[in-house]
Amino acid sequence: MSHWPDDDVILYDGVCVFCSRWVRFVAKRDVERRFRFTAIQSAYGARLAQTFGIDPNDPDTNAVVHGGVAYLKSDAALTVLGMLPGWRWTRVLFAVPKPLRDAVYSLVAKNRYRIFGKYDECFVPDAEMRARVME
């Protein structure tokens, strides 16, 4: 785990349809407006990714910085879900061994473009969400 000065930032692949839907899913349910978002294709997102050892040109994970610590793969997804109202029950999934959780995560991540599709360029958030995007 790496440290980062900004907190509650979700790093995602901005051209990935599934990843962009994940961001919209989180934004809609994040009633406290705690999370901010950055596409790995942005300058800020690329710096964040490189700090965590993620290749900005071939990302294999999303990440979330929470409490100054970066969480990757299934830890990232469960950390975010566990903080959303109505989704806190997902914290029990941390009991599943990390190698198993990450294997499932990696399988989806590896095939995300083929299964869900890919945008030609980063998706553009609506005006309300744009205030939560870090570039």
> What is the tens place of the pLDDT at every residue in 46-69?
999 998 888 888 888 889 999 888
Convert the pLDDT of each residue in 66-82 to its tens digit. 988 889 999 999 999 99
Domain ranges of the chain: 9-129
Tokens of 57: 């040109």
pTM: 0.89
Cβ 45 vs Cβ 39: under 8 Å: yes
What is the layout of strands, in order, in the sheet containing 9-12?
Answer: 36-39, 9-12, 63-66, 69-72
Q: What is the pLDDT of residue 43?
A: 93
| SS3 state of residue 96 | coil
68 dihedral zone (left: phi>0; alpha: psi -120 to 50; beta): left
pLDDT at 133 over 50: yes
pLDDT at 3 over 60: no
